[in-house]
Structure 1
Amino acid sequence: MTQSLSPRVEAVFWFLLTATGYFLLASLSLHATKGADNIAAVWPPSGYFLALLLLMPSHARARLSAFAGMASASFAANLWGGVPPLSCIAYTLANACEAAVALWLIRRREVGELSFMVPRAVAGFCLAALGASVVSAAVAWALVEGLTGASADFFLSWLTTVLLGMLIVTPPIVMLARMIGTKAMDNASRAMKAEAAAILTLSGLVTIAAFSQSEFPLTFLPCMAVVAAAYRLGPFGAAAGMLIVTIITSLMTGQGYGPIAAIEEASKVKVLFLQFYLLSLLFTTLPLAAMLIVRQRLAKRLEQSNRWLLQAEAAALVGHWRVDLVGWSIRWSDQAYRIHGLVPGTPVDVNYSVEQYIAEDGVAVRKILEQAVRTGEPFEFQGRIRRADGEIRHVKSHGSIETGRGGRAIAIFGTVQDVTEIVENARILEAARSAAERVANTDMLTGLPNRRHTLAFLEKALEGAREHGAPLAVAIFDIDHFKRINDTHGHAMGDRVIHRVGQRAKAALRDEDMLGRIGGEEFVCILQRASAQAAEIVAERVRKAVETGTAAEDGLPQATVSIGLAVFDGELDIEELLHRADQALYAAKRDGRNRLRMAA
């Protein structure tokens, strides 16, 4: 509110605001205590000055002006109240030390604004006020004791009065000023303002009713009123209600009214009991209000987190569930119900949730959960459930075991995710991959393995034969006079002949053998676990199958094949073995074709 003022005008503003308020509060307090042997229960100027120090700008000019205003007002009020000049100076110095120490202690713990909405900050403020009060009482007692011989009771009286002044007066002033500065009061509805006014008015009326008579000990009524204010209005309600109760109880007790004034003890005992009463009320309501604010904030955060969780679960098709092993009950989130095809809130039990898995998956799920309960280890499983509408869905669950005292399992918490689309996409991708692999490894004309796949298969077979001593043979054959067939009948007929030769040769092989086309009219037979004699029999069967098979086909020209056979003899690579078979093939061609020759 002073940001638009020049530094000099601002300094004058804080001087006048401090001096005026401090003088009025000090004068009223001194006047109110005349009837109680000059013993005050609360010293409001201390709280007022500390509130201004917390609200004003942090630069030195404003604070120096405020301290000057406080010193002038303190000296004048005490002098006007009949206090000797030297004692006025001592009181002023003590009050100045008290404010400086309190501000220093608060700023050490709170770098920014002191918030009465946070329990930790409230506790720090109380400790700072207590420390400052001890210092102030020690300074006042030391100075006054030298002047008038003050007793130890003076130290205790000073400490409690200025402590209550700061604890009771500072919070409502600070909170009210910040509410005005942030226009929080303007944003409040009329109903809220009316409720706040009614609650605080009721607090005052209840306190007047309780302390205007001494026949019944009704000191608990103001406590109830302030607690209600704290519950409905938060820290400001607690602080404002506390201030109202303090003003009324101090004035009425000082004038001899109320249950505390009726105590048959000395005045200082009555004051100490009143201070104890106010402190008890203060330390009950102010922390309670701060904790209520924290609870409200946590409740809002929890509500927001739950809302985000439900949105995230719906977007990811993930729900959560919890099984209470003690009460043997289960709780599902809304998305868990939807995954199972149920309306959220439909009654379900533990057995129902497991019985939704199809038979073979349900057995596995039970075993996994039972093992998790025994070991306490996290678990994961995937299975198929039959929804309420009969649809089969794939779901995946992750979970963990909650343990109680002694490590005993008390609950199972888990998530459930509908992974049907993921499973289906994986199946489609696998089918596509398999199809692509088949295309990449298949000769398109004959449907047989192509050159790349055939040589890779031979590489593995040769490795097995070399490591385990398994028999292995390779037969290479091609179609005799294939160029003549192409030239005479055309390439289309030549392709048909190649296809038919491949099919006839494949039909003549054993199940463990492999036939591949490695180029043009050339084929390779890989004969696994075949001795030389068995390999020769199989290769000859291939030759005869081609010769007789193609001759019987209508419209196809006669075709025969020449075969070169090589049996594995410790070759280091497939090139050596294929080379030996190829040399045998050339020998078969030289000897007249349509025959089989064994490599040396």
Structure 2
Amino acid sequence: MTRSLPPRVEAAFWFSATALGYYLLASLSLYATKGADNIAAIWPPSGYFLALLLLMPSHARLPSFAAMAAASLAANMMAGSPLWTSAAFSLANGAEAAIALWVLRRREAGELSFMVPRSVGNFCVAALSASTVSAAIAWALTGGSADFFLSWLTTVGLGMLIVTPPIIMLARLAESKALRNMPLAMRIEATVILTLAALVTTASFSQSQFPVTFIPCVAVVAAAYRLGPFGAAAGMLVVAIIASLLTGQGHGPIAGIDAAPKMKVFFLQFYLLTLLGTVLPLAALLVVRQRLSRRLEQSNRWLLQAEAAALVGHWRVDLVRWTIHWSDQAYRIHGLDPGTEMSIEGSLDLYMPGDGTRLRQTLEDAVRDGVPFEYHGQVIRPHDDEIRDIVSHGSIEFSRSGRPVGIFGTIQDITETVDNARALEAARNSAEEAANTDLLTGLPNRRHTLAFLERALIGARDNGAPLAVAIFDIDHFKRINDSYGHAVGDVVIRRVGQRAEASLRDEDMVGRFGGEEFVCVFQRSSAQAAEIVAERVRKAIEAEDRSADGPARVTVSIGLAVYAGEASVEDLLHRADEALYRAKREGRNRLRMAA
């Protein structure tokens, strides 16, 4: 409000606002008590001053207290009160404002907000505490009666409870420029509602024939419902002013009660307090409900966006009514338009044959055991017969008696993830195969052959399975390369590998070890069987028909070693290698067994 002013000018502004406003309200209130029955239901200056204290900066409060004391002293003396009584009243009114401010600062971390039920409760506590202390001070200093104490407590308390809220809310609306930016239709509605509240209250309290004090309550509740806390506070203020003035002048149902004047005052105060205790919390709760409604709407919107982005939907099976509910994204995952009528049996029919049966069994097991579950399967979209991979997670909902009443779960389209995993697995297998395959012959390379032989050796050592290994290479291969070139040499190596592989049994393996050297692994073979197979390999290579542009005859020399308890692959290969060298020394194109 005045934050852009220099501190001294700002303090002067609040000093003047306090002095002028407090004096005028105190004078009018004291004048109103001089009516027919000297009725004073509320003390507006207390609420006005507390509102200013909550709005002004801290450095302006001390001067404002001085202004309030001076204004109160002047108003009381102008009304005919003695100096000592006026000073006592001023001291009590100053104390009540200080105590209310202190209680609010202790209970409220930030600014006081009438939009929050807890803050409304704290404000009521502060007003009640301040009015009690104020009444005690005034009663002690003036020697009043018990009725005086009770009257002071209620009038001051109502003054703060009724006057403070609308002033604070109106000031903050003006400061935030909300009033200026308010749509014209809303301004007109607020004006009409508050005007109707004033007219209804005037009509109700200007006659005493009919007890219609409940009608203004309806108007204030309507103001709270349509305008929120400000409407409730403003409507309450309108009703309090009109009801107090008309009752003080002897009009209305309360003034017509056959009772002492003080009882009429107490009844009017009880009426205002009851109305206040109804509409202020109601308005705050309405604001809370509106905020929760907006948050829920926003959360639902975010949930739908998140489900669409993550391809995740949610569903719920009602086990009591035997119905199923899908979110929009769940419909899209199944290839259906959102809102399409769906039954439990119909939803199971959308799954691949067998998957629907497995899902039904999964749900039955989950209901029986009461534990969460996870299900992977495939659905067939009815419009285009596209198959989609899905994963669903769910949990059981129980009633208070522990009976399962529903199943809530999520469903996610993981088709892209599954396809990527399959492609990755294929690429991994392809890379692993390439890493284990000799590019020239297509046979297992040295790495793969050694790994295969290592596993076979472990099986032979642990289980006693027969095992033999043969090493062979092409006779006079250097001469072939020198005579026909390396291209022909590569053809010879490839053909030798193919003939060797074709000669082996299914449980045996041949791999290229490097250059023109190959290794055969014979599993579950006795020495005699391994020798027969190895000899078949040698003869098949020797008997192969040759092309005109290659060597007329290709032979191999083979060294064969049968497993005899060797500790390592290297030891077994070393024995076979020694047998190979013996075959070469003895003329090549022959098989020799290791010793």
Shorter chain as denominator, the TM-score bin is over 0.9
DSSP 3-state at the match of 1:384: strand
Report 1:135-146 matches (<5 A): 135-145=133-143
Which residue in the other structure is 1:63 paired with? 61
How far, CA to CA, are the matches of 2:233 and 2:465 in structure 1? 95
Aligned-partner residue type, residue 512 of structure 2? R
How far, CA to CA, are the matches of 1:570 and 1:138 in structure 2? 108
How far, CA to CA, are the matches of 1:387 and 1:82 in structure 2? 91
Q: Which runs of 4+ in 1 moved over 6 A?
A: 552-555
**Shift in Å, 1:555:** 6.3
Contact 1:206-1:222 within 8 A present in 2 as well:
yes
Contact 1:581-1:599 within 8 A present in 2 as well:
yes
1:462-501 CA-partner distances (Å, limit 9, x unpaired)? 1222222222111111112222222333322222222222
How far, CA to CA, are the matches of 2:270 and 2:528 in structure 1? 114
Which residue in the other structure is 2:570 paired with? 575
Contact 2:37-2:248 within 8 A present in 1 as well:
no
Length-normalised TM-score, structure 2: 0.97
Which stretch shifts more, 410-419 or 233-242? 410-419
**Shift in Å, 1:88:** 1.1
Number of residue pairs the alignment of both structures matches: 593
Which residue in the other structure is 1:95 paired with? 93
Which residue in the other structure is 2:540 paired with? 545
Report 1:102-251 matches (<5 A): 102-145=100-143, 150-251=144-245
How far, CA to CA, are the matches of 1:353 and 1:219 in structure 2? 60
* Residue 347, structure 1, aligned to residue 345, structure 2: no
Which residue in the other structure is 1:510 paired with? 505
Report 1:470-489 matches (<5 A): 470-489=465-484
* Residue 395, structure 1, aligned to residue 390, structure 2: yes
Which residue in the other structure is 1:373 paired with? 367
Aligned-partner residue type, residue 457 of structure 1? F
Which residue in the other structure is 2:410 paired with? 415
Aligned-partner residue type, residue 269 of structure 1? M
Contact 2:313-2:327 within 8 A present in 1 as well:
yes
Contact 2:468-2:560 within 8 A present in 1 as well:
yes
Which residue in the other structure is 1:468 paired with? 463
Which residue in the other structure is 2:553 paired with? 558
Length-normalised TM-score, structure 1: 0.96
**Shift in Å, 1:107:** 0.9
Aligned-partner residue type, residue 132 of structure 1? A
1:491-525 CA-partner distances (Å, limit 9, x unpaired)? 22222222222112112211111110011111101
How far, CA to CA, are the matches of 1:139 and 1:388 in structure 2? 83
How far, CA to CA, are the matches of 2:409 and 2:4 in structure 1? 60
Which stretch shifts more, 380-389 or 551-560? 551-560
Contact 2:38-2:248 within 8 A present in 1 as well:
no
Which residue in the other structure is 1:523 paired with? 518
DSSP 3-state at the match of 1:565: strand
**Shift in Å, 1:533:** 2.1
Aligned-partner residue type, residue 25 of structure 2? L
DSSP 3-state at the match of 2:504: coil
**Shift in Å, 1:552:** 6.9
Contact 1:36-1:267 within 8 A present in 2 as well:
no
Which stretch shifts more, 91-100 or 497-506? 497-506
**Shift in Å, 1:58:** 1.3
Contact 1:252-1:258 within 8 A present in 2 as well:
yes
Which stretch shifts more, 554-563 or 453-462? 554-563
Aligned-partner residue type, residue 383 of structure 1? G
Pick closer, same or farther for the CA change 1:177–1:528 going to 2, 3 Å.
Answer: same
**Shift in Å, 1:249:** 0.8
Which stretch shifts more, 258-267 or 163-172? 258-267
Which residue in the other structure is 1:21 paired with? 21
Contact 1:216-1:259 within 8 A present in 2 as well:
yes
Which stretch shifts more, 240-249 or 301-310? 301-310
Which residue in the other structure is 1:424 paired with? 419
DSSP 3-state at the match of 2:211: coil
1:198-242 CA-partner distances (Å, limit 9, x unpaired)? 000000111111111122221111111011100110100000000
Pick closer, same or farther for the CA change 1:352–1:257 going to 2, 3 Å.
Answer: same
Specify every segment of 5 or more residues in structure 1 that has no aligned partner in the other structure, as ranges.
none
**Shift in Å, 1:189:** 1.1
* Residue 84, structure 1, aligned to residue 82, structure 2: yes
**Equivalent pairs: percent with the same residue?**
71
**Shift in Å, 1:39:** 4.0
Which residue in the other structure is 1:72 paired with? 70
Aligned-partner residue type, residue 97 of structure 2? A
How far, CA to CA, are the matches of 1:211 and 1:340 in structure 2? 67
How far, CA to CA, are the matches of 1:386 and 1:324 in structure 2? 24
How far, CA to CA, are the matches of 1:110 and 1:128 in structure 2? 11
1:30-74 CA-partner distances (Å, limit 9, x unpaired)? 221223543411111100000000011112xx1111111111111
1:96-121 CA-partner distances (Å, limit 9, x unpaired)? 11000000011112232111111111
Contact 1:551-1:559 within 8 A present in 2 as well:
no
Q: Please, what is the CA RMSD of the aligned residues?
A: 1.6
